[in-house]
Amino acid sequence: MVPAKVEYAALAALELAARAHTEEPVPLRDLADSQKIPAQFLVQLLQRLKVAGLVRSTRGASGGYLLAQPAAELTLWDVWAAVMVDEVDVTCEPDPRRHGLRKIWKEILDTRRAQLEGISIEALLQRCQDSQDPMYYI
* pTM recorded for the entire structure: 0.83
pLDDT tens readout for residues 96-113:
777 778 888 888 888 989
pLDDT tens readout for residues 59-118:
988 889 999 999 999 999 999 999 987 765 656 566 777 777 888 888 888 898 999 999
Distance between CA atoms of residues 62 and 103, nearest Å:
48
pLDDT value of residue 104: 86
Give Cβ neighbours of residue 91 (< 8 Å, ≥ 6 apart): 102, 106
